[in-house]
């Protein structure tokens, strides 16, 4: 009997709340909050500044004029092992000088102990036509190959004195969503004793370091004189993807 | 309560002010009976409009975009410039497509019909979905050469498209997804299944093949059907049919997409439907007539890398009589309903 009253009570609440405030029409406002993800795009220990000179680990000079990549399919693990999977989780990071960031909203409250995500876009979303949100921006941001369908997962452009290409250009457009040359790469970070505390009133920050130099380093050292450009999926794209597989590391968790 | 009162007043004011603006004239052509069709005996389509609900408004928008020159950099070329309604949406005027500033393309414009069965698009199969297909020609430097951002802002700046997008999707906002889903409706609903061949097969209107057509059909089944598979008259595979490689163009075909040596000079098997309209033939538009095509298969096949196994050992064996009969049959694949259907016509022509 009590239950019935509760149901009627909530139904009435819902009814009135809809009339008064059309914005919050969620019948059971679950305790949700947000996580900010910061991408510290760097070259080793310095923040990446566009068109500034840097050196690879092999000592080759280069400049970056454009650096963009997709991070997707974020899953956060709570203390008890349960998981929060962000729906439609596609984030296009476009580097401008400074820290790039985005916010994941509607996250259930709690202490999170781990996160996993990937560079790239899953194969399903590469073959399902036009998409909304950050995937839609791919067309306008030149992060989609229009002649050979598929998202460009990572794009790095710039110059290097060693490049034999015209204007000393270096161009790496990396993608390829399936088969032996697939270029999505997974990342999985455990916070150890630390916790990412998602609270109603505070915005915790997940700080990730993205080291551009890792793209040129291991397992295959990239020589600008022999491989100045990769602008399609395939063998070389996979080689660069194997390199960027350890490009991102966990910098810190900031609980305000 | 108060809020809705205000919105009423607001709408009233809007209504008033809009009276002062010249009304946008949207050409109205009948777009009745829009629906997904799978003709009897055909396989299931690849694209089913499940996430792109068919509506007259979206179709009208898609049609308008198909005939829209704002899609190109210098506003001179639309999809219909190379895909003409009268020619089953192919281009009988050019063997190779012409882009902006008269730039000569590398390939012949294929017809547009029965697209929802295609697992991939373009002669090299590089595009994997009907909704992202228009991005190819729009952004290709030798075709429409335009940036999609510019297309969106050009469309957004016109009253016509404000109205068309609002009618189709509820708001005036132009997005690529809206654009391309509307275009997928227009292009995906161009069906071709009412040729004489179809009516004979369906036993309709008392249609029967002539004797020459019957002989041609038997020859077709013996010689052509392995690749140009009924009822779509293509197997959607990539094959090298022994065309001479033009050293100027040096079109690597499917290998351009896969970077695999085994795909060098292979192209998607084209449908034979509407051949009467889709000349000139082959991916490079180098053969002007059906006779020339059949002559190619009997005596013109060039033995180049990856030549199709069906064409090795000297091509097809067909007599001059056989070819006449075969052509008689191939012409029964002509479906004139595409050209006569006013739903597919240029809405800008009054």
Q: What b/e sequence results for A29-44 when a residue is b if at least 16 CB atoms lie within 10 Å of its CB, and e otherwise?
A: eeeebebebbbbbbbe
Mind listing the pLDDT tens digit for each residue in B103-124? 888 899 999 999 999 999 999 9
Q: Which of residues 154-183 of A touch B (CB under 8 A)?
A: none
pLDDT of B26 reads: 52
CB-nearest to B175 from A127, A136, A149 is A136
Residues of chain A with pLDDT under 50: 1, 7-24
Phi, psi for residue B202 in degrees, rounded to 5: -80, -5
Q: Does B300 touch chain A (CB under 8 A)?
A: no
Peptide bond into B192 cis (omega under 30): no
A229 phi and psi, to 5 degrees?
A: -140, 140
On chain A, the residues whose CB falls within 8 A of the CB of B151 are none
Query: Is the CB of A140 less than 8 angstroms away from the CB of B148?
Result: yes
- List the domains of chain B with CATH numbers: 50-191+338-344 (1.10.760.10), 196-333 (1.10.760.10)
**Contact between chains at B130 and A140 (C-beta distance less than 8 A):** no
Mean pLDDT across B233-249: 95
Structure confidence at residue B24 as a pLDDT band (50, 70, 90): low
> What's the pLDDT score for residue A19?
39
B140 close contact with A: CB closer than 8 A: yes
Cβ separation B148–A149 shorter than 8 A: no
Q: What percent of chain B has pLDDT over 70?
A: 91
The shortest C-alpha distance from A95 to chain B (Å) reads 20
Task: Report the residue of A147, A175, A236, A238 to disrupt the B interface, i.e. the one with the largest count of B CBs within 10 Å.
Answer: A147
Interchain CB contact of A131 with B (< 8 Å)? yes
In this complex, do B132 and A129 lie within 8 Å of one another by their Cβ atoms?
yes
User: How many CA atoms lie within 13 Å of A32's alpha carbon, on the beta-carbon side?
Assistant: 10
Question: Which has more confidence, B314 or B316?
Answer: B316
Residue of A nearest to B146 (CA): A140
Predicted confidence (pLDDT) per residue in B143-155, tens digit: 999 999 999 999 9
Q: Does A146 touch chain B (CB under 8 A)?
A: yes
Q: Does A148 touch chain B (CB under 8 A)?
A: yes
CB contact under 8 A, B132 and A130: yes
Phi, psi (5° rounding) for residue A20? -75, -45
Query: Rounded distance, CA A250 to CA A238, Å?
Result: 24
Are A130 and B259 within 8 A, CB to CB?
Answer: no
CB pairs under 8 A between A and B: 60
Rounded (5°) CA angle B99-B101-B103: 45
**Angle (nearest 5°) at CA B166 between B165 and B167:** 90
Shortest Cα distance, chain B CAs vs residue A149, angstroms: 5
On the question of pLDDT at B206 being above 70, the answer is: yes
pLDDT top residue among B217 and A25: B217
For residue A92, which phi and psi values (nearest 5 degrees)?
-90, 115
Residue range B237-241: mean pLDDT, rounded = 98
Residue B8 in this model has a pLDDT that exceeds 50: no
Indicate which of A130, A138, A177 best probes the interface with B, i.e. most B CBs within 10 Å of its own CB: A130
- Closest residue in chain B to residue A21, using alpha carbons only: B3
Chain B residues with CB-CB distance to A21 below 8 A: none
Residues 209-248 of B with CB under 8 A from A: none
Q: Percent of chain B beyond pLDDT 90?
A: 83
Interchain pair A148, B126: CB under 8 A: yes
CB A122 within 8 A of CB A177: yes
Q: List phi, psi (to 5°) of B191.
A: -105, 150
* Domain extents in chain A: 1-28, 31-254
Between chains, do A149 and B131 touch, taking CB under 8 Å as contact?
Answer: no
Chain A residues with CB inside 8 Å of B180's CB?
Answer: 129-130
pLDDT tens column, A15-40: 444 333 444 455 556 678 999 999 99
Average pLDDT, chain B: 91
Cβ B338 vs Cβ B344: under 8 Å: yes
pLDDT tens digits for B161-177? Answer: 999 999 999 999 999 99
Residue B156 predicted with pLDDT over 50: yes
Q: Could you tell me if A139 lies within 8 Å of chain B, comparing CB atoms?
A: yes
Cis-peptide, bond into residue B280, ω within 30° of zero: yes
The answer to whether residue A58 neighbours chain B at the CB level (below 8 Å) is no
pLDDT at residue number A30? 62
Q: Is B28 exposed, middle or buried (0-12, 13-18, 19+ CB in 10 A)?
A: exposed
List the single residue in B127, B136, B181 with the smallest CB-CB distance to A130: B181
């Amino acid at each position: 009997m009590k239950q019935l009253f509760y149901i009627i009570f909530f139904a009435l609440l819902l009814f009135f709340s809809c009339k008064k405030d059309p914005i919050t029409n969620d019948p059971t406002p679950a305790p949700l909050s947000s996580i900010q993800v910061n991408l510290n795009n760097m070259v080793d220990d310095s923040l990446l500044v566009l068109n500034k000179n840097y050196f690879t680990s092999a000592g080759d000079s280069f400049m970056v004029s454009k650096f963009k990549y997709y991070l997707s399919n974020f899953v956060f693990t709570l203390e008890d092992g349960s998981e929060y999977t962000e729906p439609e989780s596609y984030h296009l990071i476009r580097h401008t000088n400074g820290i790039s960031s985005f916010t994941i909203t509607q996250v259930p409250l709690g202490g999170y102990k781990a996160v996993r995500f990937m560079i790239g876009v899953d194969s399903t979303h590469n073959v399902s036509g036009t998409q909304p949100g950050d995937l839609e921006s791919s067309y306008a941001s030149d992060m989609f190959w229009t002649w050979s369908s598929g998202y460009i997962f990572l794009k790095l452009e710039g110059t290097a004195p060693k490049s034999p290409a015209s204007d000393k250009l270096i161009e790496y457009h990396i993608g390829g969503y399936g088969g032996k040359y697939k270029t999505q790469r997974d990342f999985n970070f455990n916070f150890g004793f630390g916790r990412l505390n998602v609270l109603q009133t505070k915005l915790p920050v997940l700080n990730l370091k993205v080291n551009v130099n890792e793209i040129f380093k291991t397992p295959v050292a990239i020589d600008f004189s022999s491989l100045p450009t990769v602008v399609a999926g395939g063998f070389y794209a996979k080689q660069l993807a194997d390199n960027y597989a350890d490009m991102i590391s966990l910098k810190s968790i900031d609980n305000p | 309560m108060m809020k809705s009162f205000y919105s009423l007043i607001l709408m009233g004011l809007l209504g008033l002010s809009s009276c002062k603006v010249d009304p946008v004239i949207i050409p109205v052509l009948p777009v009745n009976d829009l629906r997904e069709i799978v003709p009897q005996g055909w396989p299931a389509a690849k694209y089913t409009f499940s996430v792109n609900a068919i509506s007259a408004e979206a179709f009208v928008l898609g049609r308008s975009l198909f005939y829209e020159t704002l899609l190109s950099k210098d506003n001179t070329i639309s999809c219909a410039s190379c895909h003409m309604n009268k020619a089953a949406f192919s281009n009988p005027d050019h063997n190779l497509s012409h882009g902006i500033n008269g730039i000569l393309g590398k390939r012949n414009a294929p017809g547009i019909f029965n697209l929802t069965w295609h697992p991939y698009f373009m002669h090299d199969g590089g595009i994997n979905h009907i909704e992202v297909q228009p991005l190819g020609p729009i952004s290709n430097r030798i075709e429409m050469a335009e940036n999609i951002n510019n297309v969106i802002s050009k469309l957004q700046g016109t009253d016509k498209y404000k109205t068309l997008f609002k009618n189709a999707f509820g708001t005036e906002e132009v997005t690529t997804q809206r654009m391309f889903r509307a275009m997928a409706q227009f292009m995906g609903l161009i069906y071709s299944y009412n040729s004489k061949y179809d009516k004979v097969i369906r036993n309709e209107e008392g249609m029967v093949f002539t004797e020459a057509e019957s002989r041609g059909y038997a020859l077709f089944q013996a010689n052509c059907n392995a690749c140009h598979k009924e009822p779509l008259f293509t197997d959607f595979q990539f094959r090298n049919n022994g065309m001479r490689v033009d050293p100027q163009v040096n079109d690597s075909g499917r290998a351009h997409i896969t970077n695999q040596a085994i795909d060098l000079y292979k192209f998607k098997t084209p449908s034979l439907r509407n051949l009467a309209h889709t000349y000139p033939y082959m991916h490079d538009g180098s053969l002007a007539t059906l006779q020339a095509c059949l002559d190619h298969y009997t005596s013109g096949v060039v033995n180049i890398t990856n030549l199709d196994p069906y064409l090795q050992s000297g091509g097809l064996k067909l007599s001059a009589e056989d070819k006449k009969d075969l052509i008689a049959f191939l012409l029964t694949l002509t479906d004139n309903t595409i050209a006569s259907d006013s739903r597919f016509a240029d809405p800008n022509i009054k």
